[in-house]
Every structure is written in structure tokens, then in C-alpha cells.
Amino acid sequence: MGEYRLLRLLGRGGMGQVYLAEDTLLERTVALKLIASVRPDEAARKRFHAEARAIARLSHPNVVTVHRVGEVDGRPYLVTEFIRGQTLGELARPIAPERVLTIALGLARGLAAAHRQGVLHRDIKPANAMLTEDGEVKLLDFGLAKLLEGPRMAPLEAPARAAPPVPALRELSDAEDLMGTPLYMAPEALRGEPSTRRSDLYSLGAVLYELCAGIAPRQTLDEQMPFEAWASAEPTPLPERVKDVDPRFAALVTRCLHTEPERRFASADELCAALSELKREREQPPEGEVPEGNPYRGLRPFEAEHRAFFFGRSMEVEAVLERLRAEPLVLVTGDSGVGKSSLCRAGVLPRVAEGALGPGRHYRTLSLIPGARPLAALASATESLLEKGEALPSELLRTDPRAFVRELLRTQGRQAGTLLFVDQLEELFTIGAPEEAAPFAEGVVRLSDLPGVRVLLTVRGDFFTRLASLPGLGEQVARALYLLRPLSAEAARGAIVGPAQSQGIHFESEALVSTLAESAVSSAGGLPLLQFAMAELWEARDEARRCIPASALEALGGVDGALSRHADRVLAGLQPEQRRAARALLPRLVSPEGTGARRSGAELDAGEPATQGALDALVKGRLVVARETDGETTYEVAHEALLRGWGTLRSWLVTEGEKRPVRERLEAAAAEWARLERTREALWSERLLLETQGVDRDALSPRGTEFLDASHSATRRRRWRQRALLMAVPLALVLALGGVRLQAQWTRARKVAWYEAQATGLTERGLARKQAAEALRLRAHGLFEAVGGGTVEETAARRESAERAWEEALTALHEADDALDEAGQSLEAALVVDLSNDRVRGRIVDVLIERLELAESFHQQNRLRELTRRIRAYDSDGLRQERLQAPPELSLTSSPSGAEVVLERYQEDAKGYRTLSGAQRLGRTPLAKLVLEEGPGSYRLTLHAPGHVPVQAPVLLGRGEHLPLHVPLPAEGAVPEGFVYVPPGRFLVGSAEPEDMRRGLLNAPPLHESQTGGFLVARTEVTFGQWLEFLRDESPGGLAQGRRPYSDVRQWGVELTPAASGRWRLTFQLNKRSLSASEGEPLLFPGRAVRREQDWSRLPVSGISFEDARAYLAWLNRTGRVPGARFCHEREWERAARGADGRAFPHGNRLEAEDANFDQTYGRKTDAFGPDEVGSHPASASPFGLLDMTGNVYEFTLSMGAREEIAIRGGSWYFDRVSVLAANRTFVEPRTRDIGTGMRVCADAPAVGP
């Protein structure tokens, strides 16, 4: 077979024969797999190539390596590495649990690598994993692998099953989804449901169980059981089979074997982290000495030397390490203050230095923060990789990143490894030189391509999307992403108690610990505030009692008040002139984007005594951090929590408002003036000084004040000289001076013209790409609108086509924005040459507006805010900004005409809530070309007409748009009680979240305009009381016998049962805790502080299947209760939930614990979880007044995808904030019965006359 010589047959499988072969070209032994059929059909050929693609996408020590794919005489073959060793099925069993733990970690790592590449294995069993002679375990035989983003695979002949003989089993064996070996298959896979990542985790758990116990978990069951019961039965607990098994390891295996997929590990990465932590604890490495002093870091990050005090992040540390083992570049992102720096510095880096990335290389760690000169920082950090005495100039990174990397490759040995840690990558956009961002990113990515080099990055979540515009790095961010979530309540307790316990200190009461933990998880940015409060509490500890008293927290003013009170005390201790200096310098340590900014002492005018005294006091008070950088002292705020939690600083920043850009330009000009030895030519002209009116002189540095005064003095002198010259200077002298000035003006004009010409070319290119981006965007949106209505296969193909079109649109977007950004930079360079050039200033604003329009059409909110700020800074007269506020026009008609119209505008407050304001009566319909002077934005119209129900119509109006709108008003009595009429209209559907989250987590299309016709929708979800009415009405005819709510899940379940008395009884099983009540009795949730008693007849019904819901809708139709009752379509549901403006939640873009019923509402406590009476959370009412459309229970809807798909929307009481996003889409099978899934009723719109 070409360069391969077959030696002997190793074995046969369902897909083909495996031979031992020799690669005659490379002189190595390989395994060669031939497809089974001599003349394979197209389906078999596709499946074989699917296996090849699946393995080829993986590169991991715990996965078999593929060398080549080819065909010979029409028969496909696959060449992989030949592994010397035994399959796990050939090992003598049972195996010692300690050894199984090592095997488990290898299998989990290999499976995690597969899942990260979108590959399911679907046939994990002992025979499909090899233990090599070196003791390494490898996953193999991906013959049943499924590529998650591709179409569903063709059927495969089922292998023999070790299961009870059931006639239906043979029918299942021909089903497309029943692939694998039943002894190890997940219950849902045995039922023919599509396999998921959690199905693979079940199979892995079954293998681990068998290795420990000697028999597979299902072999502990009664063989005479019916197949359905056998498939979903729980096996004998592992500790009962293996007495010496570690209970923690047994718990991990048990969790993998949960019959409910959602109760298993969420991912193989999560299982890896748990196994790694357990293995690390069992190996008991020697502990280092505990450092002396305060174990809490306050506003400073944890460093490697503080790892003994770093608690609460062990799972996350292991997860990042596992990613680094398999991937060369990992990007940690999350909210400001979530602990990204501490995770890496105190958690990951020390473990890497100890060898946590595995044998073969000894890794050293290098760290850097980009700062104002990112390239210099990178060149400096990598100097240690070079031979002694060598250094690479940072300019080489800018001009030729490849040459820079080649030089480093020359010195990187085979045994040495390097981990480069780049912290606070957002500084590329906040304080770094803009022209250095792209070469820095390219250099970092090329470094990660070096053998033995790993790169670890951190970036604030709100800057994550901006990384996509950087060359090289933009393509990596999606797969490199690791999202660091806030501490859980349990982890927060560890971070609170652990450091004190390491020093032999305890807390006075459990209530004190609970209060502190609650503060960390209940608010955004709570962790740095907690750390600061803990550092203060440590200083207030009672040494005699060796405890931290509760009174100390009260004295601090609680966690939230501790930081603000401390900062105010530091300010109060300053001398008046030092306080004024602090007032001037602190806002300068904040970037325009609202992040911390690092400034040198020279930039802050630290030579002034008052300024230096203020800096010294702020550093001593831990509000500002001083660092030595390149031989000079730099300063920065100690933590961005100060920007949110210190009211005084926040008020200063707000007070500056729109004058801040002017002040920053003035300070920059003052610095340049000082650098030029206070030359008069660098002073500001009278026109520029006009812009400084209203600037608070106390907010200026002493140098800025001096510059301002000098400029005013120079202006006054200039006026005097001008008057004197007019009267006393001879005409010849005037002409001579005019000639000199003319020469200077001519020189400036040449430079400005050169920059403008460069900007013109870039602008033309940017506008051309902008036009292309808009066309591609509209095409992609049209394709997404046309995705639904077909089969699963047709829909998958349409969706893939739409996603490809969207990727093209995003590429054009980035190209357009990059070109326009470069044009703006050229114009800004021209403005530096001639600060008084209004034409150039106007062109800058024009370019910024083009970029803003582009960001607006692609719904890039962060970019919009940034560009709006910059436009305000340059457009001093505001004339061009009027384009952004061009008022829209509305022409409104109604059926019937003559309806009174009230208009209200949605405003988003500082917290993210959207509220209505400015109600005004517009008159009666018809209304023609009504100009809305308030400008573009989100509005709600309310129409009233006698004899008709009031109708609300949310609309989103663009700048200068003319929208004709017709609103029908149904007659009174045409809308059933408890329902709302939603008129025909347009709205935004989908998600504008980052691409990996949109496609991976939310499964949503990009945010785009869609529309629906009119329809009716219930104000609340269907309740148990309403369902009982259905059961009682239908039971005489026997139609509702199978419609009683229940779920089979033991740990989390619900059941509604009739009693002999005729009263029904509702039972919830919440994590194996039973809550039960009969009709008329309240249901008690013991762990709740509020809403403890619930009238269960008003709880949303759950534990019903899609078919049950269909029967309920048919009953509503048949009995005339709700004519035209039906399921809501997904688009209808999303419009009813979000209105017109694409908000994240029904009430805005923020969700607090009390706004809705989701996992945080009752503190994630097991005995508090559960539904609420419908309508218990009016704060999250939708623009149409609908309740509980976020949280409480998921709601069945008809999918906007395939005809066969069933989508559930809205999240439930058990799930987190991401799951309850209005754009989130989840799919279930028709037979699904779940404690967290119910329904809401929609109905056809009633006929409305003219």
C-alpha cells in the first residue's frame, strides 16, 4: 500500500480492520485501519472520513495521534501512531483505586481536549483506551465520533449489547442516535436521544467504576429488569463494592453516573479540575513556610509568595493548567475585580514552576504588564530567553515580528520550557501606544507557536471583543478563552476563613463569616471590596482571644463602606494644598474608558512639593501603588474597585463630565511645554483657551495651572503687541513679519496636507469596506431569518451558510474599522501640527461618526460608548453631533381610527435598568409625519379607543428614520382574561454577545431586526391550579389520564397525585429533600427568608411533557376558554419578552437577585431552590407587562429552527444569569419532563375590523 507495508492483523472493529504496518519512508511502526467493506458505500466512506477528521483535529498526549488519511483501490484508510501496551479491557481487574485515579485523570484530559475541539467520542469503553508501556493512557477508536458543528452522521451497525433481551432494542439499534456499547452508554443515549458531552462523561464514569469494582455498573443490576428500567437504574454505590476507595473519588464517579445529564459534571474540563485537585491533595506535597504579616492582600493581587494564603480558586487553577497542557495560548477573562491576576500569579505560575505542565520540560515563568510601551515591555521580558549579553530591540517587534521570534527560537532548548504571562492586556487599548498594539499581539501569538512556549493572558471582560481586531490574536481569542466567574458562596468562605486559619486565627461567629461571604457574591466587584475589608479586619483582630470579632466589621461600616471610609480618612489627613493636588492627580490615574491608568511622576508633576506629598500619603494609605519602571517611578490606583466603591473619586469623575477631554489635552500640552523648556510657542492660543472655560482649576496639576496662567498671560501680551504694532510698527516691518509667519504657515500647511492626503486614501478604503460590511450584514441577517421551517438536516445546512455569511460580514467590519481608525490617526497627527485647524478637527469627527455608524449597525455597545466620548471631545461646537441626533418621524394609523396615543421614551439608568419617562399625548390617529424631537431611541406607544382594549407598541427608531406604523386594537371581550395583545411589529432578535458565547452558550443568531404578526400571549405561566382544572374537566372521558405532572428523576423531581379524598397533593423532590402539601395547604420552603410559604396552586406547572402541553392547548381550544390557543413561536416569545430594543432581560440590561427567580434569588441554597408563585417578581415585567419571562420555569416554544425542534426559553429557578438571558435558546425532546420546565400559552390574534 504505497509507502506502508502491512505486517499483521491486529484486530477487527465495526468500521474495519486494523493492521500493524511499517512506514517505509520514515522507518517507523504505525497502525493502519482499513474500512471494513471492500466496496464501501458513500455512507460508510463518510463515517470513516469523519473519524479521520475527528482525530486529526486533536493533538494531545492522551489521544492517539493521526499521521495520514488516504485511499487505495477505493478503500479509505487511516494511519495512526502504534501504541505499545494494553487496552484497559485487557488489564486484570479490579485495580487499586490510587492507580485508577491516575488513569482517570489521563482519560479526562484526553476527553476534554476532544470536547474543546467540538468532538464527541460516543463509545468510551475499556477496549477503546490504551495504557502504554510508559504508563500513559490514550483514548482511541473515534469510529463513532461526532463533530458537533457538522451534520448528523449516517447510521452505523450497532455492536453487540450486554443488556436485557428486549424486542424494541433491535429497533433502537437501527436508530441514528443509538451508537456505542450499551453497557457503558448514558441513559439518554440508550433512549435514542442525541448524545452530548455529558453522555461521554457518563461512559467515562462507567469505565472508572469497572476498573475499581471489577464489573461495569450495569452488571450490578438485575438482568430480568425491563430494558427501560435497566437503562435508567442507578448502580450499586461504588463504596459498597470497593471498601478502600477514597469517598471523594467515589463521589466523582457517582456524579459522572447520574441518570440526569444536568447533574453530571458540566464538562470534561470541570472533571479534570476535580480529579487534579484530588490527586494533588492525596500526594500531599510539602508545604512552604507561611509568610508572616497580614494574610489578606487588600487591593493588591496575590503573588507567588502569597500562595499559602490563596484560597477558593483551586478548581479554576487546575482548569487553567489543563488548558495550558493542551493549548499554547490561554486567555483568562472576566469582570474587573474577579481575581484574574491573583489566579495566575498565586495559583497558576507557581504550579507551572513546580512542573505542573508535565514531564519532559522544565518551565520557567516570565511576567509583564504592557504599560505605555508594550513592545519595550515584551522585549524586556524575553531578554532572559536569550544568551547572556544579548538583547533584541523592541523596534524589531514592530518591523519584523517573525525575525524576533526566530531569534528566540534559536536559543530555546529541547528540555527548557517558558510560560509567558501577560497581565492586564486591556492596557493595549487604555494607556499603550496605539501603533504598538498590533505588533505586540502578533509577537505574543508567534511566541506561542514556539515549541515549549506557553502564553497566558488576562484581559478585562469589557475589553474582550476589542482583541478580535488585533492581527493573529483575533483568530485565537475564541478557542483560547477561559471565562473566570465570580467566587461561589462556598469558595468565598474559603477565601475568608483560610488565610486566618493559616495563622491560627478564627472568626467570632459563623454569622460574621456568612455576612462577609454574602458581600462577595451579591454584587459585581464584591471580591476586591471583601479583600480590603478582610485586610482591615485582620489589623483589628483580638490577639488575646485569637479571633476576628464582629464588632470590628461594624466599626468599619460594613464591607461596602470600609474602602470608602478609609479613602476619605486618607484624604482628610492631607494638608489643604496636598488635598488640592490629590484632587488633581487622582482623576489622571483613570483612563477615558474608566480603567486604571499608569502615569509617571513627571506626568503627574511630582516635582511639586504638594503633589509629591499627596502621592506619598496616597501610597502610604494603599490607595495608590508606586512602581519602578525603566528607571522612573510610576503610579496607578491600587485597584479598580476604588473607581466604583469610593464615592468621592466617583463624584470627581462625574463632575468633570465633558470637560475631562479638555483637561487631559491641557495637561498633555503642559507636559510638552515643560519638555520644551517652557517655550512660548507651545502655549495655547486664545481660541483653545476658550475651551477651558468651566474647567475646575483644582482638578489641574500645578504644572497644568501654571501652563494655563502662562497661556492667558501670553494671550494678553499678544493682544497688547497687536494693538501696539497697529499703531507704531512701520508697514515694512509688518510685511516682513507677515512673510515669516507666511513661511511658517506654508510649512505647517504642507505637513497638514500630507497627513490629510494619507487620511483621504484610508478613508476611501474604509468607506468601501464599510459599504461591503453593511451589504454582507444584511445578507447574513436575511439568511438567519430564513433558517427555519425545514428538516434538521436542512436547517443545519442553512444555519451553517448563515454563520459563514456573518463571519464574512465581521471580517469586512474589522477591515473597515481598521482603515477608518488609521485615517483618524493620520488626521490627529495633522491636528498636532496645526491645533487651530478646524477643517482637520471636523474631518476627525466625520471619520469617528462613520465608525460609530458601523458599530451601531453591528450592535457593538462598548465601541459605541467609546466613539461617542471621542466625538464629544473633538466636536466642540456640536454641529456634526447633530447628525447623531437627527429626529425620527412616525406616521401612525390604527384600527379603528381615532385612538388616543401616548408616547413614552425608554431611558437606561446607571445600573442598566430601562424605565419609561416623559409621557406625552400625541393626539388621535391618524398621525402623519410626527417628528420626535427627543431623537432616535427606544419608545413605547399606548393606544386607547372606546370599546377596545388598550394596546402597547414598543418601537425602536433610528436617526432620521421615517416609520409608518399601523396598530390594530381588538374589541373589548376579544382578549381572554389574563392575556395581552401584542400588535404586529418589528423588533431586535438574537444576541450581541461575543461570538463564542453567542454560538456556544446561547445558541442564538446575531442580533438583527425581525418581525411578527399580531398574537395573544398569557401574562403569566400556566399554574398548577389551571392544570388541575384541565385534569378534572378531562378525567370523566379518560383523556387526561396520562397528563398528570411528574418527573422520573429521583434527586430533583415533581409529582402531582390524587388522594382518596378527592384533594390533590403536590410533592417536590429538591436534591432528595421532599416538600409536600395538599390542596388548600401552603407549600413551605425551609431555607428561604422571604416568600417562604407558597400557594402551590399559583406555582407554574412543571413536570409536563411537550405532548402534555399540546393536549392542554387542545382543551383550551375545545372548551372555548382560549380560542386559537397554541404554543408561542420563538420569535413571538422573544418579542413579548424584550419588546423592540434587544435588551438582555425583559426589564433592561441588568438582573439582580430580587428581580426574578433564578439561582441567586435565594442564595443558591438547596433548601431554598424552587419556583415562586407567578407574578412574584414584577420588577422584571416585560415591555408588554408580561411576568416571569426570565427565571421561574423554562417555557416550551416552537423553534425558529427545524420543524422537529422544541425550544425552551427564559431559564428557570435553578439556572444562572447567563441561562436566563432572553436570547438564550435550549432544545429538548418531546418526552422531556423536568421540574424546571413548564409552559406559557399563546393564541391567534382576534380579528380586528377597519
Binding site per annotation, positions for ATP = 33
Q: What is the spatial distance between Cα 119 and Cα 142, in angstroms, rounded to a whole number? A: 9
Rounded to an integer, the average pLDDT of 1098-1105 is 95
Highest mean pLDDT among 103-112, 625-634, 655-664: 103-112
What's at 870, amino acid-wise? R
Q: What is the spatial distance between Cα 822 and Cα 212, in angstroms, rounded to a whole number? A: 63
- List, for residues 737-759, the tens digit of each pLDDT value: 565 566 667 778 888 888 889 99
Predicted confidence at residue 263, as pLDDT, reads 92
Q: Which residue has the higher pLDDT, 297 or 454?
A: 454
What's at 882, amino acid-wise? E
What's at 802, amino acid-wise? A
Q: 3-state DSSP call for residue 732?
A: helix
Predicted confidence at residue 272, as pLDDT, reads 84
* Residue 149 in this model has a pLDDT that exceeds 50: no
C-alpha cell of 1126? 397554541
Rounded to an integer, the average pLDDT of 337-359 is 86
- List, for residues 1122-1142, the tens digit of each pLDDT value: 999 999 999 999 999 999 999
Strand partners, 1073: 1070
Which residue from 740, 1132, 1185 is spatially nearest to 980, judged by alpha carbons? 1185
Q: What is the spatial distance between Cα 1205 and Cα 793, in angstroms, rounded to a whole number? A: 11
Question: How does 391-428 read in b/e, with b if 16+ C-beta sit within 10 Å?
Answer: ebebebbbeebeebbeebbeebeeeebbbbbbbbbbbb
* Residue 8 in this model has a pLDDT that exceeds 50: yes
pLDDT band at 177 (very low <50, low <70, confident <90, very high): very low
Cβ neighbours of 820 (radius 10 Å): 25
Give the position of cell 476576628: 548
Burial (Cβ within 10 Å: 0-12, 13-18, ≥19) of residue 978: exposed
- List, for residues 801-816, the tens digit of each pLDDT value: 999 999 999 999 999 9
**What average pLDDT does the structure give for the chain?**
83
* Residue 174 in this model has a pLDDT that exceeds 50: no
Pick the CATH number of 313-483 from 3.30.565.10, 3.40.50.300, 3.30.379.10, 3.30.1180.20: 3.40.50.300
Q: 3-state DSSP call for residue 892?
A: strand
**Residue 259 and residue 234 in contact, taking contact as beta carbons nearer than 8 Å:** yes
Q: What is the spatial distance between Cα 262 and Cα 277, in angstroms, rounded to a whole number? A: 22
What's at 564, amino acid-wise? S
Query: From residue 910, how far is each of 914, 1148, 1149 by CA, in Å?
Result: 10, 11, 10
What's at 507, amino acid-wise? F
Q: Which residue has the higher pLDDT, 881 or 242?
A: 242
What's the whole-model pTM score?
A: 0.48
**Residue 342 and residue 297 in contact, taking contact as beta carbons nearer than 8 Å:** yes
What's at 848, amino acid-wise? L
* Residue 1089 in this model has a pLDDT that exceeds 90: yes
Predicted confidence at residue 161, as pLDDT, reads 33
C-alpha cell of 16? 474495519
Count CA within 13 A, CB hemisphere, residue 845: 21
Q: What is the spatial distance between Cα 683 and Cα 697, in angstroms, rounded to a whole number? A: 17
Q: Which residue has the higher pLDDT, 394 or 175?
A: 394
**CATH of region 1024-1041+1100-1244:** 3.90.1580.10
Going by DSSP bridges, is the β-strand pair 1226-1228/1206-1209 parallel, antiparallel, or unpaired? Answer: antiparallel
* Residue 512 in this model has a pLDDT that exceeds 80: yes
- List, for residues 368-399, the tens digit of each pLDDT value: 998 888 888 888 887 766 554 455 555 666 66
What Rg do the C-alpha atoms of the chain give, in angstroms? 34
* Residue 207 in this model has a pLDDT that exceeds 80: yes
> What is the helix (H) or strand (E) element at residue 171, kind and residue range?
helix 167-173
Q: What is the spatial distance between Cα 346 and Cα 304, in angstroms, rounded to a whole number? A: 4
Predicted confidence at residue 1192, as pLDDT, reads 95
- List, for residues 96-131, the tens digit of each pLDDT value: 898 899 899 889 988 988 887 778 888 899 988 998
Highest mean pLDDT among 50-64, 67-81, 838-852, 892-906: 892-906
Q: What is the dihedral sign for C-alpha 473, 474, 475, 479?
A: positive
What's the DSSP call for residue 346?
A: I
pLDDT band at 12 (very low <50, low <70, confident <90, very high): low
Helix, strand, coil percentages, rounded to 5, for the chain: 45, 20, 35
Q: What is the spatial distance between Cα 1016 and Cα 358, in angstroms, rounded to a whole number? A: 60
* Residue 562 in this model has a pLDDT that exceeds 80: no
Q: Which residue has the higher pLDDT, 700 or 724?
A: 700
* Residue 833 in this model has a pLDDT that exceeds 90: no
pLDDT band at 164 (very low <50, low <70, confident <90, very high): very low
Q: What is the spatial distance between Cα 561 and Cα 553, in angstroms, rounded to a whole number? A: 10
What's at 724, amino acid-wise? A
Which residue from 482, 479, 439 is spatially nearest to 457, judged by alpha carbons? 482
Q: Which residue has the higher pLDDT, 880 or 772?
A: 772
C-alpha cell of 415? 528540555
Q: Give φ, ψ of 38 to 5 degrees.
A: -65, -40
Rounded to an integer, the average pLDDT of 914-939 is 93
Q: Which residue has the higher pLDDT, 617 or 1243?
A: 1243
Highest mean pLDDT among 258-262, 489-493, 642-646, 1060-1064: 258-262
* Residue 453 in this model has a pLDDT that exceeds 60: yes
Question: Among 407-421, 479-493, 761-775, 841-855, where is mean pLDDT lowest?
Answer: 407-421
Predicted confidence at residue 1079, as pLDDT, reads 92
pLDDT band at 729 (very low <50, low <70, confident <90, very high): low
What's at 750, amino acid-wise? R
Which residue from 153, 156, 5 is spatially nearest to 79, judged by alpha carbons? 5
Q: Give φ, ψ of 626 to 5 degrees.
A: -105, 135
Predicted confidence at residue 179, as pLDDT, reads 47
DSSP string across 802-870: HHHHHHHHHHHHHHHHHHHHHHHHHHHHHHHH-TT-HHHHHHHHHHHHHHHHHHHHTT-HHHHHHHHHH
Count CA within 13 A, CB hemisphere, residue 678: 9
pLDDT band at 1164 (very low <50, low <70, confident <90, very high): confident
Rounded to an integer, the average pLDDT of 819-847 is 89
Q: 3-state DSSP call for residue 598?
A: coil
Cβ neighbours of 554 (radius 10 Å): 9
Instruction: Spell out the CATH class of 886-968.
Output: mainly beta
Rounded to an integer, the average pLDDT of 291-303 is 79
Cβ neighbours of 434 (radius 10 Å): 13
* Residue 440 in this model has a pLDDT that exceeds 50: yes
**Residue 689 and residue 660 in contact, taking contact as beta carbons nearer than 8 Å:** no
* Residue 662 in this model has a pLDDT that exceeds 80: no
Going by DSSP bridges, is the β-strand pair 1237-1238/1194-1198 parallel, antiparallel, or unpaired? Answer: parallel
**Residue 641 and residue 558 in contact, taking contact as beta carbons nearer than 8 Å:** no
What's the DSSP call for residue 1207?
A: E
Q: 3-state DSSP call for residue 590?
A: strand
Q: Give φ, ψ of 937 to 5 degrees.
A: 155, -165
Predicted confidence at residue 407, as pLDDT, reads 65
* Residue 78 in this model has a pLDDT that exceeds 50: yes
Count CA within 13 A, CB hemisphere, residue 668: 7
* Residue 595 in this model has a pLDDT that exceeds 80: no
CA 997 to chain CA mean position, Å: 6
Residue ranges per structural domain of the chain: 90-140+171-282, 313-483, 573-728, 749-884, 886-968, 1024-1041+1100-1244
DSSP string across 424-443: -TTHHHHTS-HHHHHHHHHH
Question: Among 542-556, 652-666, 871-885, 1067-1081, where is mean pLDDT lowest?
Answer: 652-666
**CATH of region 90-140+171-282:** 1.10.510.10
Share above pLDDT 70 across residues of the chain, in percent, rounded to a whole number = 85
Cβ neighbours for 921, distance < 8 A, ≥ 6 positions apart: 900, 901, 902, 903
DSSP string across 42-93: HHHHHHHHHHHHHHHT---TTBPPEEEEEEETTEEEEEEEPPPEEEGGGS-S
Predicted confidence at residue 991, as pLDDT, reads 94
Highest mean pLDDT among 317-321, 595-599, 956-960: 956-960
* Residue 969 in this model has a pLDDT that exceeds 70: yes
What's at 857, amino acid-wise? S
Predicted confidence at residue 641, as pLDDT, reads 66
Binding site per annotation, positions = 33
Q: What is the spatial distance between Cα 9 and Cα 254, in angstroms, rounded to a whole number? A: 38
pLDDT band at 699 (very low <50, low <70, confident <90, very high): low
Strand partners, 1006: 991
Burial (Cβ within 10 Å: 0-12, 13-18, ≥19) of residue 223: exposed
* Residue 210 in this model has a pLDDT that exceeds 90: yes
* Residue 155 in this model has a pLDDT that exceeds 50: no
**Residue 32 and residue 23 in contact, taking contact as beta carbons nearer than 8 Å:** no
Instruction: Please report which residue ranges of 400-549 form alpha helices under DSSP H.
Output: 401-411, 427-430, 434-448, 473-480, 489-502, 510-521, 526-539
Q: Which residue has the higher pLDDT, 133 or 935?
A: 935
User: Would you put residue 520 in left (φ > 0), alpha (ψ -120 to 50) or beta?
Assistant: alpha
Rounded to an integer, the average pLDDT of 454-466 is 84
Question: Among 218-227, 398-407, 549-558, where is mean pLDDT lowest?
Answer: 398-407
Share above pLDDT 90 across residues of the chain, in percent, rounded to a whole number = 35
* Residue 794 in this model has a pLDDT that exceeds 90: no
C-alpha cell of 744? 511658517
Question: Among 2-11, 655-664, 989-998, 1136-1145, where is mean pLDDT lowest?
Answer: 655-664
Highest mean pLDDT among 33-42, 526-535, 1036-1045: 526-535
* Residue 999 in this model has a pLDDT that exceeds 50: yes
